[in-house]
Structure 1
């Protein structure tokens, strides 16, 4: 990119903000990042605790479909900074990547902290200034950015272009509180309500079931809802159920609960067997076997799966093999609420996408751009969340460079 000059302020030190900072500083823009936490990218570090899933290796057309209603708007940004570009960028930081058996892409170190350290080192070498413990308060009467500093002091800052990248409202202890929503709404920016995404759901387990099985995965299993079927290993919690397969259906389940007060999720506890084959195996079980033995030996159910069957179907299970097989293959689980937004992996809602022009600039606030989870979109886990944050941060940086190039210079 050509040297653009000028000053840019980035509010938020997550992946979207840091990526924008790198591209802007590489083009000669003086960049200041204002982060409300003591250090940047805390949620990024948490995401990498069990292995940093940077992106996914599936073909780009299928990849883009993961963004649902936002796909058409996000496609140009992701096509301009693709999963392959993200992998090359990581390798440029000395962090080669590999593709796991599920198609997910990870750095070879498998952790977020080495990548973040290398990245912050690069930003420092580019002259990016990072101000920690500065909390965004909006704008003053002259349009300057307002912050409260580490000691409660107020700071105003003038910038030629501003990027807002403050995240959603999940895991607020890591910095993303969603407190910006009211400040932008007061400036006339339309904000869709922030809601939990990639979240667990609540049901009413018996005390005995919770004591026996809370924290255990159900494997293998398949989950079905509203015509969608997902294989995975859902995890029983004291409050209900969570896990990757649940997250993949979370948007549909959440909206059904909002509309009707509940959602009935269907569990298949033996997804690799057809119902007829399962019934045949049950029919072959010796008559002397107890129901517990039939479920364990003939049906092949794990203790937690058998516990689920009894919990949801009742202690008096069907005696006929066909009826029992049908219950095992289609077990209804009634969900009545999402887990709190503070416990969600990500959030839906945020700045309505129509509020942004094609450069990711807010139409009502010229010179102010937005990227990342502040925007109204959602996607499943598997690398799609981080990819969109990186890609929209890069797209906003390109928009900021174009904007800066258009502005008169003193």
Structure 2
């Protein structure tokens, strides 16, 4: 799909001249883009979730602003009104998406309540451009529709998945078995509604309701020692991965994992995070339309702030020390999702490359 028009180019040029120092416009896209992943050889993959009319899709960005469905049309063909559409072999609701330390493009399909087999973790082999790993998660979570993002341990044997109802899923990648932990722990719960651009985020319930989202953003420290996690409304914690991984075989520890969690810093309402090789965590601020940097010691400062950073979501760090910022354009309102574009991906210079165990 070719997305740039003359008008868009003019708008993009005007935007670029008005951005905060260091913030650069990389792409102007037709569809709102939730996340970007860039392979070691420079291939760019986008997850495009937020839309009022179009289903979520995964695409590869090629030849400027041209996109093609990835890994193929079939995986992006789910149709809820078609009884022959198989939710086990199609993307129902792409949430998290990233290239893992094993070089696969991993997509988290949060699924949909009542759609059997829709909640899953899907791994795409970038050499063959085909799905070669699928983990179905409803037997672990007990429901469909809440799984959101994924990270991996240093040994690449365990996946950590956030459960926005307020829990963490720990998945053994060898056996496919897993456990759901932190479900009753305060560190995984949303204690206050999310904020967007100076106001409380409207909820999906009755008039006047607000949006609260449990454990969402997760990162692993470059040395593999700590798993960082937070509810979407903010409040960053860390826990040793040794304890987290042990919950797969130790039921007692699985029930008390929250006792080992340590507070790191008070983060804002957040769209997405990423981590660099120095262990700095980058946190998007949906309220101030900014990006925060949190050091390993827990010191939090605003790195860059700009009105164009509308609900920045799944960020990425590249070896040339750039932070890639997809502004997903989610604008909570009466329709519950967002306004139309234009939709942008930005870059911002930082002082480190990617974590060696975070992505290829």
Q: TM-score with structure 2 length normalisation?
A: 0.21
Bigger share in helix: 1
Q: TM-score with structure 1 length normalisation?
A: 0.19
Structure of greater Rg:
1
Larger RCO: 1 or 2 (CA < 8 Å, sep 6+): 1
